[in-house]
Amino acid sequence: MKLTGAQILMEVFGEEGVDTIFGYPGGVVIDIYDQLVKTEIRHVMVRHEQGAVHAADGYARASGKVGVCLVTSGPGATNTVTGIASAYLDSIPLVVVTGQVPTHLIGNDAFQEVDIVGITRPCTKHNYLVKDTADLARVIREAFLIARSGRPGPVLIDIPKDVTNGRADFRPGETVQIKSYNPTYQPNKRQLRKVLDAFASAKKPVILAGGGIISSGAADELTAFARRLRVPVTGTLMGLGAFPGSDPLWLGMIGMHGTYRANMSVGDCDLLMAVGARFDDRVTGKIETFARNAKIIHIDIDPTSLRKTIAVAMPVVGDCRASMTALNAMIEDDLVARAVAGRDDWQGQIDTWKATTPLAYNQTDTIKPQYVVEKLFELTGGKAIITTEVGQNQMWAAQYYHFDRPGHFITSGGLGCMGFGLPAAIGAQTACPDKVVVDVAGDGSIQMNIQEMATAVQYRLPVKVVILNNGYLGMVRQWQELFYDRRYACTRMDHAPDFAKLAEAYGAVGLRAERPEEVETILRQGLETQGPVIMDFRVEKEECVYPMVPAGADITDMLLS
């Protein structure tokens, strides 16, 4: 049967199980929107295209599906780039559909024309400019396949208006294969045997869990492996929730603002197994001294990540879940006995590091931001989905909210994108309407995409925003305090809005706490209120995030206070 390009797009979306699209309409996608409203697919209209990509990102992480967004050409397309780059660095599966001017006008500087394929080539897993309606169905199917398989990532499809309006034969239910694209899912069994032999002989092993554990659904398999061999586990920022934060084997987050026990354990271990992590510079610190005493195992589905940054003794190419499943199946009782023997000194050393209190703080007559996050954890029972903005708020959320489940910590890890948290919370709330979703924000970053509060109100999405309001761009101010003699150049957030009144202006509920004794009351009220809420906590202005590893230092060289 012959269908228009817009109809083909909707048909393939249906085949791919798309139930939600985040978008913003415009001239060259008007025909797509005309077809969209005839389907059962839910459309969430954001207030800025960057918000659409972040919302699709939050939706993908919370649901485990591919996030989808739809925008127009020109400025609509360019506004998506920051969100695409964030998803690319964090390996989040997205399909981003952009409109384009008619094919005969491409290259003529037509109204709202931009080469979005060229612009996004460095920050997409793949992208397409569709020039023939007959190719559209295949391209869309390929885009979903590429986005969700292997190491996930964003794929962009640029569709000119004449391709949208053109007609072509459509055959439903066809499958696609890409001969040049065949990710390796099953690991080499001989390599896995070497991995187990290494654990059998190691006296001071540590597991490093990355975001790949979460994206591959390998949290249960990793947890079973660590518990059976009694191996302590640390995690990257993206790996929080991959291993239960309440488990005695949990060391906390590693890296620049990681826990003392995690950084010291990796610095002193004799075997480090990294699973689904890419050894980001915020994790490794000084590369030359990272895990200097350890034999390093690296398991990842992306072969280009292996030995890219860190010298690895045992690389394993394979899906994290498939690899951990295979490892668990190969473990025998005698290997367990050998592995756990002689580890008492190592466990004792870890217990000594755990006994230190670098995350301790003194609650004075001014609200400490750590106290707000701790109370939020207590009142939600650790079951909320937490999104964050970027900066001090992000680090305090990672340090003081303890994640027992994958998919419950959603943050812009690789790009560090301010303005991420609120639209990501909208996406997560759309995916999980029965869960509590909270955006932990700063007074600087929340203003990057505050307009999305209108989206939350329009669609009755009960997201809660907790603003740790210190009147500064806090993380930059912290660096200025520690390394620039307190010259606070351009980091004061003067003339910030009254966030409680701003919430009311959007039709939401606004609350404020200025004293420590008000924190629990305001959090309870905000969490129990129906609909979206902004809670403004006026916190200690010059509070710093500790521990902190100075740039270029070894991760064991921490500033503790």
Residue 402 near residue 432, CB atoms below 8 Å: no
Of 125, 161, 368, 375, the catalytic one is 161
β partners of residue 21: 43
d(CA 481, CA 541): 12
Output the 3-class SS for 23-60: ECCCHHHHHHHHHHCCCCCEEEECCCHHHHHHHHHHHH
Residue 213 near residue 240, CB atoms below 8 Å: no
Of 49, 113, 389, 543, the catalytic one is 49
Residue 77 near residue 112, CB atoms below 8 Å: no
Question: Has 377 been annotated as catalytic?
Answer: no
Of 238, 256, 395, 475, the catalytic one is 475
Location of structure tokens 């010259």: 487
Question: Has 161 been annotated as catalytic?
Answer: yes
Give the DSSP letter of residue 300.
E
Instruction: Report the candidate in 346, 528, 500 with the shortest Cα–Cα distance to residue 436.
Output: 528
The one-letter code for the residue type at 94 is L
d(CA 252, CA 401): 11
Of 111, 186, 378, 383, the catalytic one is 111
d(CA 327, CA 194): 11
Count, residues in the chain = 561
Q: Which helix (H) or strand (E) holds 275?
A: strand 271-275
Q: Which helix (H) or strand (E) holds 128?
A: strand 126-129
d(CA 228, CA 224): 6
β partners of residue 207: 233, 273
- CB contact set of 115 (below 8 Å; sequence gap of 6+): none
User: Considering Cα of 429, then 433, then 437, then 442, what sign does the dihedral take?
Assistant: positive
Of 112, 347, 458, 525, the catalytic one is 112
Question: Has 111 been annotated as catalytic?
Answer: yes
Give the pair of three-digit tokens for residue 34: 């005309």
Q: What angle do CA 24, 81, 466 make, to 5 degrees?
A: 75
Residue 72 near residue 29, CB atoms below 8 Å: yes
Question: Has 394 been annotated as catalytic?
Answer: no
Give the pair of three-digit tokens for residue 201: 């002989």
Whether the ω angle into residue 205 lies within 30 degrees of 0, i.e. cis, is no
Instruction: Report the candidate in 205, 27, 45, 22 with the shortest Cα–Cα distance to residue 105.
Output: 27
Question: Has 13 been annotated as catalytic?
Answer: no
Residue 60 near residue 92, CB atoms below 8 Å: yes
Residue 539 near residue 513, CB atoms below 8 Å: no
Give the pair of three-digit tokens for residue 499: 């966030």
- Residues serving a catalytic function are 49, 111-112, 161, 475
